[in-house]
A and B are shown apart, each in its own frame.
Chain A
Amino acid sequence: MLPIVLLSVFGIVNLFLGFLRSNRVLLPFALVVLALVFGVNLLDWNHAGSITGLFDSPYVAQMLTVDNYSVAFSGIVLLTALVLLPFSRSYVVAHEPNLAEYYSLLLFSLVGAIMMVSYNHLIMLFVGIEILSISMYVLAGSDKRNVRSNEAALKYFLQGAFATGILLFGIALVYGATGTFQLNQLAANIAAPANASLQPMLYVGVLLMVIGIGFKVSAAPFHFWTPDVYEGTPTFFTAFMSTVVKTAGFAAFLKLLLVALPGTSAVWLPTIIAMCVLTLLLGNVGAAVQTSAKRMLAYSSVSHAGYLLLGLVAGRGQLDGPAAQAIFFYSLAYSIATVAAFGVLKLVSDQRQREDYAGLAGLGRTNPLLAFSMTVAMLSLGGIPLTGGFFGKFFIFVTVAGQGYIWLVVFAVLMSMVGIYYYLRPVIAMYMRPAEPGNDAPIAVDGFQAATLVVLAAISLILGILPGFFSGLL
């Protein structure tokens, strides 16, 4: 609860800081705020509500629950934002006139993300998604003079608004069938025999909700906006979108299915399986045929939604069960690797003005650090051992196979073979292709960004070498 309050308050304070002459104060301020909120969030670990008891009136507690699940996923989104911020440095240097607004929107959007992972009431889920999404619509269009950025914002907004409507309609139908927004109450009412006649309405409502959230996490066949929006959005915000939105979305998704809707798994399980197969196929094949590294990362983010959906397929039992553990670990590994990949890509595209693989050529020679952290990120996203991505996939696969879906795991393994193909392409470009003449100057990286990249690579490797620290956390 306290993180939400702090983020909101500091978000507003940050807006006022925008009146200062200098942009330079904004980045340190945002970093300090995020670090503070990250720490405050951790205080709630195993102490559900006791630290923030001040805010735990019955009213609030019905709407939001603070438990290890929400603390863990809030931790991921806050950490992601924290390690992403240093890459916004070029906006500070460029005297971006709206910088304070951007940082405030980021802070506000995190409020939405935290509400999405700690909701206990469908309206809170909806409000959380909206807070996050509306911030993203604006940020997608933040490069106002760029046509593609405008297109991205419009596309994202229109399609997102539809998805929101569908989600809200779903929530309304579910409410109509069960008479409650409360997650636990929902599960109880669904199980009650008295409601049997309302089941068609309930089922339609559940499906519409699955579609609505499926859109937000860019699961196929609701992923069509992803590549264009990711490509058009300034790289910094793309990184934010593909990590924070996805992590919060899946945490919310899992909570919904596990806590509120286990009684309707006959409806959502086949749907999720079908979405999962489609997402893995379209994401991986789509990524394999791209020539732009940024579009590849966009499609790869779709494919990772597929692996996470795989985790939902195994979603049974409590919020501290193997499926939740697997999704937590996967989200963490994925977010860290994605931030590193987009971070390097942003540095490169800022200075070489290109986002395709050729833009990365020769980086192994000119910027060994960038090349190294990009390589670690690619290996992690590809799921190769020594990196967190391997254990992310591993836990998901084992959990799903343990539920008896061997064929689905085999399919996912085949798809990750495709993944290795395209994740190696940046690596090949960096180490084995010489840079184009005239475009081979070393990329300038300040010490802060370099340190962040080192930290990101280190986290990826720690997740890959000592997964035991994180795997049993929830």
Chain B
Amino acid sequence: MLTAFLVFFPLAAALVLHFAKGSAARVLALGASLVELAVAAFAAFVFVRNGPGRFDLNLNWIPSAGITFHLGIDGLSLCLVLLTAVLVPIILATAFRHKEYDNPGAFYALVLFMQTGLLGVFTALDAFVFYFFWEVALIPIYFLAGAWSRSDRRIQITFKFFLYTIIGSLFMLAGFVYLYLQTGPAAGSLAAHSSDIQAFYTAGHQLGAAQQSWLFWLIFAAFAVKMPIFPFHTWQPDTYTESPAPATMLLSGIMLKMGIYGCLRWLLPVVPLGTSQWQQLVVVLAIIGIIYGAIIAIRQHDMKRLIAYSSLSHVGLMIAGVFSLKDIGLQGAVIQMLAHGVNVVGMFLVADAIERRTGTRHIADLGGLTRRTPLLSVCFIVMLLSTVALPLTGGFVGEFLLLAGVYEFNMWAGAVAGLTIIFSAVYLLRMYQRVMLGPPSAHSDTITDLSGAELAMFAPLILLVFWLGLFPGTFLHLSEPTISSILTAVGR
């Protein structure tokens, strides 16, 4: 029941929100997301005390096809549920600050609708339920990114994004249908088949290496586009840059994790032989992404675009960690999913705060802001240092574990992937220097510092950065059983 409430409460709130106007809509949206956060925290509490048993929800959905509505929460899911629950109120609060959005109620409703999609993805234990929520999450973000963007190129950009992701998803669906037909008896009615995750694990394991080889790509296509991994990333920088700030945060902070989560839950254990076959290629692609994203980030003049490419680079490391198939690499990926979610939302929050005050994101137009904005500077530097993986921050723990995993997989891969830390220090510190320090610009005397409300948005992020950095064990303990069972299924 708790699971069903967690997943569907935001949707219910979104429906009600449609009838609210003005500040009532704001209160309702934020209230709903905070209730959701409280419930997620309660779920975590119950989980730690009683174990995962109580979170299983298994209802008949399409009995004639053997498909059940199966949701459940284990440690891995819980981490991502918590991440989503924490970030959504902040993302909503960012939207509140944009008075220029017309029809704001619909905007908040779509954010909450999106939350249902995301939570569904993170808790689905049936392949078609997973696919269902996977696509459900796409619909609101398409409108959030497109309809509220003020860019001239919004139509082409969001269209490209939608087309890329849905084409990837359709490949995944084809793979799922194939696997589904491998479950149960060969002939007879569909009701004899099953799409439950356990049935998929069994069916996948029984397939030969040749079948797993192409099934791997069918399923991976959806995840590769969503994360995104080089060379499936071309939609990403444009979409991140041109979308309104809250949509960018949703995309980079949470939606990106759908891909990595999908790999962990639905790819590695389902087609283990396929995974081993393509493991090296994926790691190479991921490392190309790390270097490529970092080098392009160095040359960027737009804050948002720089963060977008930096995100591409950081995601590469997570993918490399996942495909190292080492315990430590997968653990690192879990921590880094959380840390990256916090960091990147924090960075976009900073970029948004600066853009709203100065009307520009262009790095060359800014400078010397720090004199009048001590609070913003502190928040900025904390988020930045966590992204650069300074020890004591969440980013450090994640990247350290990931690099250790990649290193264990292959020394050279580990060495090249490690460049990400150096590169990100280069482009992020340069950005900080040019925006906050340096010679004063036209904005440096008029800019105002963070208000109390804005500070309240940063506070949980900063708290999480240090929590993840100082006590990563909290989350490592949660995800550890799931990770080891995944690795057992892969045969490592």
Contact = CB atoms under 8 A, between A and B. Distances in A.
Given A395-B65, A428-B155, 13 more contacts: A322-B190, A365-B102, A384-B139, A384-B166, A385-B133, A386-B132, A394-B173, A413-B173, A424-B163, A431-B143, A467-B62, A468-B61, A472-B191
A428 B157 CA distance: 12
Interface string A382-422: 00111000110011011101100010011001001100110
Nearest to A393: B173
B100 to A, nearest CB: 15
A452 interface: no
Interface in B95-135: 102-103, 106, 128, 131-135
A471 B190 CA distance: 11
B63 interface: yes
Interface size class of A (residues with CB under 8 A): 35 or more
Interface residues of B, number: 40
Contact of B132 (A325, A385, A397, A472): A385
Interface stretch (B176-184, B248-256, B467-475): B176-184
A385 B136 contact: yes
A399 B159 CA distance: 31
Contact of B174 (A322, A413, A428, A433): A413
A386 B61 contact: no
Interface string B51-67: 00000000011111100
A468 B61 CA distance: 6
Interface of A: 321-322, 325, 364-365, 368, 379, 384-386, 390-391, 394-395, 397-399, 401-402, 406, 409-410, 413, 416-417, 420-421, 424, 428, 431-433, 466-468, 471-472
A406 B64 CA distance: 21
B295 interface: no
Question: Which of B65, B154, B166 is the most central at the interface, judged by chain A CB atoms within 10 Å of its CB?
Answer: B65
Interface string B153-179: 011001100110011001101100110
B177 A431 contact: no
A322 B134 CA distance: 26
Contact of A398 (B61, B139, B155, B181): B181
B154 A432 contact: yes
A353 B158 CA distance: 29
Contacts of A410: 174
Contacts of A364: 147
B64 A424 contact: no
Contacts of A391: 62
Given A386-B139, A432-B147, A399 B190 contact: yes
Contacts of A401: 177-178, 181
A471 B62 contact: yes
B451 interface: no
Given A386-B139, A413-B170, A468-B60, A420 B163 contact: yes
B72 interface: no
B146 interface: yes
B189 interface: yes
A325 B189 CA distance: 11
Contacts of B189: 321-322
Contact of A325 (B64, B135, B159): B64
A221 B131 CA distance: 34
A421 B132 CA distance: 20
Contacts of A416: 170
Contacts of B177: 394, 397-398, 401, 409
Contacts of A467: 61-62
Contacts of B181: 398, 401-402
A424 B162 contact: yes
Interface in B132-151: 132-136, 138-139, 143, 146-147
